[in-house]
Amino acid sequence: MEDCVPVVRLSSGKEISLTKDVVALLNRYVHSEYSLEKLAADIGVEDWGEAYEFVKKVPAWVMWVQPSYYEKVVLKKLCSSS
């Protein structure tokens, strides 16, 4: 299943896979006072600017979907269609 996980490419060249864990971090970001600085540290980018670029590039619905649903339904559907 790893080979069909969507990837977000930043202008710096860094690639971030949209795994269940990353979706969980995005959920935390949109539902609480979780800063861009903390998100940057947790996803392994340089600073809040790269974290902001990442958030802007991720489809908005991904941030609101439950991580378990994302893993069991969304990724499964992506993997079966590829």
Rg of the chain over Cα atoms, rounded to whole angstroms, equals 12
How many structural domains are present in the chain? 1
Q: Which tens digits make up the pLDDT trace of 6-37?
A: 999 999 999 999 999 999 999 999 999 999 99
End-to-end CA gap in the chain: 11
Q: Residue 6 falls within a domain, yes or no? A: yes
Domain that holds residue 45: 2-66
In the predicted structure, residue 82 carries a pLDDT above the cut 70: no
Residue linked to tokens 């996980």:
5
Residue 20 lies in a domain: yes
At 43, the pLDDT band (50, 70, 90 cuts) reads: very high
pTM, two decimals, is 0.89
7 in a structural domain: yes
Residue 10 lies in a domain: yes
Mean pLDDT of 53-58: 97
- The whole-number pLDDT of residue 61 equals 95
Q: Is residue 27 a contact partner of residue 39, using CB atoms and an 8 Å limit?
A: no
- Does any domain span residue 8? yes
In a domain, 75, yes or no: no
In a domain, 32, yes or no: yes
Distances in Å between the Cα of 10 and the Cα atoms of 30, 49, 56 are: 20, 11, 10
Is residue 81 a part of any domain in this protein?
Answer: no
